[in-house]
Structure 1
Amino acid sequence: MNSVRTPTPTRTGGLRRRGAAGLAALALGIGSLGACSTATSATGSAATSASVEGTVWDASSVHEVSIDVDDDEFAAMLATYQESDEKDWLTADVTIDGQTISDAGIRLKGNSSLRDVDADSDPADLPWLIDLDKFVDGQSLDGWESFVIRSSTTETSLNEAVALALLDEAGLASEEAVSISFSANDSGSTLRLMVQDLDNRWDEATFGTDGTLYKAEAGGDYSYRGDDPEAYDEVFDIEAGTDDHEPLTDFLQWLEESSDEEFADGLAERLDVDAFATYLAFEDLVGNFDDIAGPGNNSFLRWDAEAEQMTVVAWDHNLAFGATNGGGQGGGGVPGGAGAPGERPEGMEPPAGMEPPVDGERPEPPEGMEPPAEGELPEAGGVPGGGQGGQGGQGGMGGMGGMGGNVLAERFLATPELADLYDAAVADLQAELFDSGTAQEVLDAWVSVLGEQADDLVDAATIELEAEQVASYFDGQA
């Protein structure tokens, strides 16, 4: 696979970046490589790798990543974050697969994953954004400058790794992901997931057209705030492409002010509706409630200047396949915390009308919500908050889709002809990803990599348990 290439359109209007070839490469690479890749090269130019195999994004290896940061600077950064929520950049030496890049930039990455940050936080436990050329222009590794060390709600991160691979198999924009042995300041190593940052390099490699990538912020929403770009400072960040807010504000204004008839007739001119239907269906099938309609507002809008159309880009799948935020990094994310399937984490209460049956009797649903008949999928738009329904979205402990609400998702699913696209996408993805065995192949490949190369970081019983949790979604009955 080329690192920068022309994307191939799919039936959804999304983009296939790895597809079957990437899955085959992952499966074939298992057992043939050592504990980490040694074919990487640190460079001061913007060179790109010829393929994923043997590079930092080779998923058939568990890679080694470490950071070395000054203790006093780290403590000052923590104090600033606690006082103001500002995420200051630090200078660090970053070593990836034996290649050390000096004076790289690192900063905290995330929102809810940082809720427990305090003065005693260990840098080895935190989520990080690494930018190799933040302070020294041109520094890169295999042509890539930015890497995200993800926070995880499970010990293996299998749920997010599998979700990202399947997102790509669905023909939607995804990001490369690899398992890593991570350490900081000579700490012990822990198993983490490292993914691509959605930056200019990623945008060019994924879409190959001029445009702008807008990241929705956790505290924002999709409401129209006028045409002043400053009104969106805390709502949308421009992560890649042209520094232009006009396509965003025009879209949000139309989304807010259009009548139902105008919305039904005009959305396809402004949004890739096939890709969005696939996105909504996918998030439900993988049980990710923390999506565009979830409490974290996790999504990007990508404006394609050539097509003059928006595309919703997925982000943040560490709660996919029913994982919860209860345990934080290093465990507790599988329902039941220590691994008891179906148990609710301490302090977590479901919304009204979604409580489990008592003595066989269902609770009364919230006003205006009609529960599905036994064994049927929820109707589109039938989730509290107006978010999407679907098998996965309601299936596991993560299944509380729509708690945050999103006007685009709500209006989409309330429009019959658009809801039909969603229903068709659910059926298609269930057949293509799960019934076909593709999802199980992806999961098996990741399990094999961890079992053979990360047995010093996670025990076999944990891998098996967390793999079973993921696989429980594959038949659509989780």
Structure 2
Amino acid sequence: MEPPKPLLRHRIPVRLRHYWKLLAVLAAVIVVTGALFGGVRIRPYITGDTTVMTSQITDNIAGRVDLFDPTVAHSLTVDITAAEYLDMLDTYARDDEKKWVSADVTIDGTVINDVAVRLKGNSTLMALRGDEHKPPWARDGAPPPPPDFVFVSADPDDPASLPLLLSFNEFVDGRGYQGMTELSVRPGAPVLNEALALSLTRDTGQPTQRYAYVTYTINGRTTTRLVLEHPDETYAETLFDSPGYLYKADAFSYLEFVGTDQSAYAEQFKQINSADNGNLQPIINFVQWLDGADQAEFDAHLADWLEVESFARYVATQNLLCNGDDMAGPGQNYYLWYDLDTKKFTVVSWDLNLAMQGKPDIGPFDKVSMPGPPPGMRLPGAPGDAPPGDGPPGDGPPEMAPPFDGPPPGPDGRRPRIGNPLKSRFLESPTFRPLYEQAYWELFDRIYGNGRAHALLDEIAATVPVTPGLTKEDLQAAVARLHDWIDARTAALRAKRPR
């Protein structure tokens, strides 16, 4: 089994792929010059567009083994001083700020000092907020959630429970590890659903992120964790063959037109690469068109703005994986790629930790809700087109929680919004509905119909390390539950497939 990993040519920055002839000529000149003037020191001088020749990473740490090689065991150790650890937690509890602190990190035996570490996530961190900002289930004295509660809750007394983001270049300019500047440590174990969803996304030819399972030790506590490459500038430059901009959607973005001032979108979308340019104009142009397009205009010209075949596959995949936390979920979890050659957008999936956990009988056009708390543990829902769910006991498999429509508001009182106008209009369009249905059943055959999901799950499970935080029995039970879910999903969709 090979986890999501781009083709070799996609690990070469697109700017270098576009200018390989120029680079070859420069290399030849250097060789010839070196032969003629071997004893003379030559300083390179680059003219023209310097962005072609620059890289965010100038000090790339090679490491001992490829972190994403599934054939070898991997380890990650993070050591944060007590003072830095408390500062990180206190800052978040007081100000809701995810502050960077310094840590010493060891990856597969390679020691890296002064790595920046901060908290990552939203719902998982609820219990770390000050009591006035916590939902009832996270306050002191509230009954703890059962083991299968889908929202893994961070515990300030257990550093291994914290979802973290590691940055190699936040404190040391130009430093990277194996071509990455950031690495994400996911909460919980073994989170097979996320690993399988990532693998299936890649297996169907769609852009995604690479991952690895590691034996994870933080401040002396050891467990099993899934780590992911975090989309940074290098990721953006290697994602597609053509040049473009990569944007991350914020939880409070909604693809709606709020004027032509770029600053109005600065908190909704973060530009990942070429960020110094601060160019959000492609998004503004698109949402302005989307806002003004009637049904006829939408059907006739969406393909001028969006890679509609790719989008059909994205939307179909999220439904097939029962991911209620996609671009239409409360987290608005997606990236937008704007191709500078075609002038079109592509949606890139992100944050699949809630995939493959919902009710397995969801149909191609059914609303996919996020799994929520079990009966008797009610969360306040966010505004949406369906009320929060607190289904009756026994509603679905025992490891599933009933659906709900979003987390409680943040410290500033804002609630994430459910839905996305692009996705909803696409599914409702008589023009694009057949395209979606065709993509849906083609992907069903590739994911479930041919047994691929079962095979990939077994291959992934073989790479998961058993640690003090994850016993062999717990791992086997998690594998069995996910196999059962895949069986239920496959049977339900076969029954719904048009004859």
Partner residue, 1:110 = 121
Q: Report if aligned partners of 1:215, 1:237 keep a CA contact under 8 Å in 2.
A: yes
SS at match of 2:463: helix
Q: Report if aligned partners of 2:236, 2:272 keep a CA contact under 8 Å in 1.
A: no
User: What CA distance in whole angstroms lies between the structure 1 residues aligned with 2:475 and 2:272?
Assistant: 35
After TM superposition, the structure 1 = structure 2 runs for residues 226-237 of structure 1, keeping only pairs within 5 Å, are 226-237=259-270
Q: Which amino acid aligns with 1:296?
A: G
Residue 300 of structure 2 corresponds to residue 265 of structure 1: yes
Residue 176 of structure 2 corresponds to residue 140 of structure 1: yes
Residue 88 of structure 2 corresponds to residue 67 of structure 1: no
Residue 129 of structure 2 corresponds to residue 125 of structure 1: no
**Per-residue deviation, residues 44-82 of structure 1 (Å, max 9, x unmatched):** 734779xxx940111334421111222222222222222
Once the two structures are TM-superposed, the CA of residue 283 in structure 1 deviates from its matched residue by: 0.9
- Shift in alpha-carbon separation, 1:313–1:241, aligned structure 2, 3 A: farther
Partner residue, 2:471 = 459
SS at match of 1:115: helix
**Per-residue deviation, residues 376-419 of structure 1 (Å, max 9, x unmatched):** xxxxxxxxxxxxxxxx9xxx657678981111111101101212
- Shift in alpha-carbon separation, 1:456–1:75, aligned structure 2, 3 A: closer
- Shift in alpha-carbon separation, 1:256–1:201, aligned structure 2, 3 A: same
Partner residue, 1:197 = 230
Once the two structures are TM-superposed, the CA of residue 458 in structure 1 deviates from its matched residue by: 1.8
Q: Report if aligned partners of 2:388, 2:403 keep a CA contact under 8 Å in 1.
A: no
Q: Report if aligned partners of 1:295, 1:404 keep a CA contact under 8 Å in 2.
A: yes
Partner residue, 1:181 = 215
Q: Which amino acid aligns with 2:268?
A: V
Q: Report if aligned partners of 2:389, 2:402 keep a CA contact under 8 Å in 1.
A: no
Stretch of structure 1 that moved more, 128-137 or 168-177: 128-137
Partner residue, 1:379 = none
SS at match of 1:104: strand
- Shift in alpha-carbon separation, 1:357–1:195, aligned structure 2, 3 A: closer
After TM superposition, the structure 1 = structure 2 runs for residues 147-226 of structure 1, keeping only pairs within 5 Å, are 147-152=183-188, 155-186=189-220, 188-226=221-259
Residue 360 of structure 2 corresponds to residue 346 of structure 1: no
Partner residue, 1:36 = none
Q: Report if aligned partners of 2:211, 2:226 keep a CA contact under 8 Å in 1.
A: yes
Once the two structures are TM-superposed, the CA of residue 335 in structure 1 deviates from its matched residue by: 7.6
SS at match of 1:106: strand
- Shift in alpha-carbon separation, 1:44–1:309, aligned structure 2, 3 A: closer
After TM superposition, the structure 1 = structure 2 runs for residues 299-310 of structure 1, keeping only pairs within 5 Å, are 299-310=334-345
**Per-residue deviation, residues 423-463 of structure 1 (Å, max 9, x unmatched):** 1121011101211122111101012222xx32554223322
User: What CA distance in whole angstroms lies between the structure 2 residues aligned with 1:204 and 1:48?
Assistant: 19
Partner residue, 2:9 = 5
After TM superposition, the structure 1 = structure 2 runs for residues 7-22 of structure 1, keeping only pairs within 5 Å, are none
After TM superposition, the structure 1 = structure 2 runs for residues 32-431 of structure 1, keeping only pairs within 5 Å, are 45-46=59-60, 54-118=65-129, 120-152=156-188, 155-186=189-220, 188-242=221-275, 243-322=278-357, 346-347=377-378, 351-352=386-387, 397=401, 404-431=418-445
Q: Report if aligned partners of 1:321, 1:469 keep a CA contact under 8 Å in 2.
A: no
User: What CA distance in whole angstroms lies between the structure 2 residues aligned with 1:400 and 1:293?
Assistant: 14
Once the two structures are TM-superposed, the CA of residue 355 in structure 1 deviates from its matched residue by: 7.5
SS at match of 1:321: coil
- Shift in alpha-carbon separation, 1:48–1:417, aligned structure 2, 3 A: farther
Partner residue, 2:142 = none
User: What CA distance in whole angstroms lies between the structure 1 residues aligned with 2:315 and 2:178?
Assistant: 33
User: What CA distance in whole angstroms lies between the structure 2 residues aligned with 1:123 and 1:356?
Assistant: 33
User: What CA distance in whole angstroms lies between the structure 2 residues aligned with 1:171 and 1:344?
Assistant: 39
SS at match of 1:416: coil
User: What CA distance in whole angstroms lies between the structure 1 residues aligned with 2:376 and 2:75?
Assistant: 32
- Shift in alpha-carbon separation, 1:4–1:112, aligned structure 2, 3 A: farther
- Shift in alpha-carbon separation, 1:468–1:58, aligned structure 2, 3 A: same
Once the two structures are TM-superposed, the CA of residue 356 in structure 1 deviates from its matched residue by: 6.1
Partner residue, 2:151 = none
Q: Report if aligned partners of 1:4, 1:204 keep a CA contact under 8 Å in 2.
A: no
Q: Report if aligned partners of 2:215, 2:222 keep a CA contact under 8 Å in 1.
A: yes
Residue 492 of structure 2 corresponds to residue 477 of structure 1: yes
SS at match of 1:175: coil
- Shift in alpha-carbon separation, 1:323–1:57, aligned structure 2, 3 A: farther
- Shift in alpha-carbon separation, 1:398–1:469, aligned structure 2, 3 A: farther
TM-score using structure 2 length: 0.70
Q: Report if aligned partners of 2:380, 2:388 keep a CA contact under 8 Å in 1.
A: no
User: What CA distance in whole angstroms lies between the structure 1 residues aligned with 2:114 and 2:263?
Assistant: 32
Once the two structures are TM-superposed, the CA of residue 99 in structure 1 deviates from its matched residue by: 0.7
Q: Which amino acid aligns with 2:9?
A: R
**Per-residue deviation, residues 270-317 of structure 1 (Å, max 9, x unmatched):** 111111111111111111111111111111111111111001111111
Q: Report if aligned partners of 2:371, 2:403 keep a CA contact under 8 Å in 1.
A: no
Q: Report if aligned partners of 1:288, 1:319 keep a CA contact under 8 Å in 2.
A: yes
Q: Which amino acid aligns with 1:166?
A: L
User: What CA distance in whole angstroms lies between the structure 1 residues aligned with 2:291 and 2:341?
Assistant: 24
Q: Report if aligned partners of 1:212, 1:302 keep a CA contact under 8 Å in 2.
A: yes
SS at match of 1:262: helix
SS at match of 1:192: strand
User: What CA distance in whole angstroms lies between the structure 1 residues aligned with 2:185 and 2:452?
Assistant: 26
Q: Which amino acid aligns with 1:347?
A: R
- Shift in alpha-carbon separation, 1:73–1:83, aligned structure 2, 3 A: same
The alignment of Structure 1 onto Structure 2 pairs a total of residues equal to 389
User: What CA distance in whole angstroms lies between the structure 2 residues aligned with 1:469 and 1:215?
Assistant: 33
SS at match of 2:128: coil
Partner residue, 1:21 = none
User: What CA distance in whole angstroms lies between the structure 2 residues aligned with 1:189 and 1:141?
Assistant: 22
User: What CA distance in whole angstroms lies between the structure 2 residues aligned with 1:210 and 1:336?
Assistant: 40
Q: Report if aligned partners of 1:319, 1:398 keep a CA contact under 8 Å in 2.
A: no
